[in-house]
Structure 1
Amino acid sequence: MKKVYDNLFFFKTLINSGSFSQASAVLGIAHTTISRQISQLEDQLGKKLITRSNKGIELTSAGRILYNSTLNHLESIEKVLDDVEGNISNLDDENIPIKIFLSIGFSYFFIYNIYPKLKEKFPNIKIELSTYTFNMMEREILKLKNFIQHFDICITEDLFFHAINPDHWNIVTRRSDIMKIFASKDYLKQYGEPKKLEDLKDHNCLYTNLWSKTRWNLLDDDNKEHSVVINGNFATDVLVQLRDLVRLGYGIGLLPEKYFDEPSEENYEIVNLLPEYKTRPFDTIVLTNIHAQDLEKTQQTGKAIKDICMEIFQRW
């Protein structure tokens, strides 16, 4: 059977090339070898398939029937073999990394909470993280729209969701959070506790670059909005840094409620100030690129990130 396929392959190449010399150049073998293969095929079929003339190679009636009948089948087999070869080369997880684009703040959460569990599930996984700051996103949003397309997974905030091309991305999961006002007992012991929003201007309010550096916009229990002036001496894109500074007693922070929900000795020292106030909900969204180089692995990784986040947030 293999011999028949080899002879058919030489026959197809010869006819497509138009001459023995051209077929020899395409295949990189002597034209006498090709001639021998064609003769063997004619012997197997008991029919003359080609004739030679001053114009080159011409098909006989039997040759034309054979060529037309087998051409599509041969091309299909060649395509299948090419696809299999490509898939085999992609089987090694270490060859193709999963490229993830996310905020520098969320990268801390990813490294300490998500990545260890990904390694448990996919021991050979290879990750490449690229991070952005909020200031960078605001300044370079048009450039980043094209830049983002080169990643397999994107984890972003709803504030920048308009940078995502819906034709390239699939939403895997989204998580809504609110922020509330927190301070440590040590800080309050030293500087006193604000009794109303207006008192915040007299405190060191640690703030994120995500929103205004001079105001916090908050909702009360009736969803009425309040804009309060703040002063502070520290800003960052990384919310967990603000959390740690609050725990260390350096100031008052507007932080995700989930940071302090989990029972722990550290959280016991944290107080939710003016608990009737909170921010509007904000979403963190996990997306996978539907044009990823290794789509199956990208989708598996995206689902694993979703499952890990759900487990963590349910625990919190």
Structure 2
Amino acid sequence: MDRLDAMQVMLTAVECGSLSKASRILGQPLATVSRKVSNLESQLRADLLIRSPKGLELTPAGRSYVTAAKSILEQLAEAERAAAGEYSEPKGDLVVTAPIMFGRLHVMPVVIDYLSAFPEVSVELMLTDRVTHFLDEQIDVALRIGDLPDSSLIATQLGNVRRVTCASPAYLASHTVPAVPHDLVDHDVFSFEGVSSNTIWRFWSCGKELAVPVRSRLGVSNIDAVIEAGLAGAGVIRVLSYQVADYVRDERLELLLESYEPTPHPVHLVYYKQTRLPLKLRAFIDFVVPRLRSRLTAYFGHSD
């Protein structure tokens, strides 16, 4: 039995909460994963896991073993990184993830500059609007927009983005400009929800939230299409500020109800806490953080 491989399988199963999910992540048949865990328990002559319909639970022996195994594997990984030279110069592969449009507009230009500065590093940039999982997808670092749940991740705030309401000058020329959020009931609006859904746009006034029901004339599942509808003068749209900053600057869209905007969304760079960061990751953090802060400040006037 490969003891280190069995340790990794065991840890993956515990972190996933089930053997079946661990088998998918590891790319191994469920029977193989189950056999490796069972062989490990036989070798140790101790029950490590309690299998139940609700998932996996660790026995007291299992908790002790997992703590020790995690330490052993972390030390091994660090030794391998040191031997490969990851602590002497930035080199190797990094997996970075970011929301699609934010990644395209802001992260991609900075990553290209990073690659020029560090020729021994390669980056896989995953652009997706779904929440990615560090363990499942082997993410090194992520850009996240919005409040973060409590976790073991290290988070560095880069700035904020606002949720803004806007429309084209052509649309506003033929409609009364809304003075308060409830004026939107008389306007054509476009959103991500379906046309039959009860859409609520939330604003803020005098320390209180205002929930404004609107009926979308068109429900679109793609943010670029929503923005195109706004640019075409079809109606009022609601998006994140970075998504329309260039159009606002070029006066192709006008911001509405700015004094009623809700609390801005924080933008964070997040990564796993490690005893010793590989130089490729440390270099990426040191390179990206000031540049993204500068971009957010240039676009939105403040970074914190």
Query: Equivalents in 1 of 2:100, 2:164: separation in Å?
Result: 21
Show the 5 A alignment for 1:209-288. 214-220=199-205, 222-232=206-216, 233-236=218-221, 238=223, 242-257=226-241, 267-288=250-271
Alignment partner, residue 151 of structure 2: 165
Does 1 or 2 have the higher relative contact order (CA < 8 Å, sep 6+)?
2
Query: Equivalents in 2 of 1:90, 1:120: separation in Å?
Result: 19
Alignment partner, residue 106 of structure 1: 102
The 3-state SS of whatever aligns with 2:178 is coil
With over 3 angstroms needed to count, the CA separation of the structure-2 counterparts of 1:89 and 1:307, relative to structure 1, is: closer
With over 3 angstroms needed to count, the CA separation of the structure-2 counterparts of 1:125 and 1:186, relative to structure 1, is: farther
The 3-state SS of whatever aligns with 1:172 is strand
Q: Under a length normalisation based on structure 1, what TM-score does the superposition of the two structures give? A: 0.56
Query: Equivalents in 2 of 1:218, 1:84: separation in Å?
Result: 49
Q: Which residue, 123, 127, 131 being the options, matches 2:123?
A: 127
Query: Equivalents in 2 of 1:107, 1:130: separation in Å?
Result: 9
Aligned letter for 1:217?
R
Q: Which residue, 137, 140, 143 being the options, matches 1:152?
A: 140
Alignment partner, residue 185 of structure 2: 201
Query: Equivalents in 2 of 1:158, 1:111: separation in Å?
Result: 16
The CA deviation at 1:296 is 1.5
With over 3 angstroms needed to count, the CA separation of the structure-2 counterparts of 1:109 and 1:197, relative to structure 1, is: same
Alignment partner, residue 25 of structure 2: none
Select the structure of larger CA radius of gyration.
1
The CA deviation at 1:252 is 1.5
Tell me which protein shows more helix as a share of its residues.
Answer: 1
- Whether the aligned pair in 2 keeps the contact of 1:145 and 1:165 (CA below 8 Å) is no
Show the 5 A alignment for 1:42-121. 86-88=83-85, 96-110=92-106, 112-121=108-117
Alignment partner, residue 167 of structure 2: 183
The 3-state SS of whatever aligns with 2:262 is coil
Q: Under a length normalisation based on structure 2, what TM-score does the superposition of the two structures give? A: 0.58
Indicate the RMSD between aligned Cα atoms, in angstroms.
3.7
- Whether the aligned pair in 2 keeps the contact of 1:219 and 1:226 (CA below 8 Å) is yes
The CA deviation at 1:179 is 1.8
The CA deviation at 1:200 is 1.7
Q: For residues 236-270 of structure 1, what are the alpha-carbon distances to aligned partners after superposition, in whole Å with 9 as ceiling and x for unaligned?
A: 464x66445433434322233456666x7863232
The CA deviation at 1:98 is 0.8
Identity of aligned residues (%): 13
Show structure 1 runs of 5+ residues with no match: 1-78
Equivalent pairs, count: 218
With over 3 angstroms needed to count, the CA separation of the structure-2 counterparts of 1:83 and 1:287, relative to structure 1, is: closer
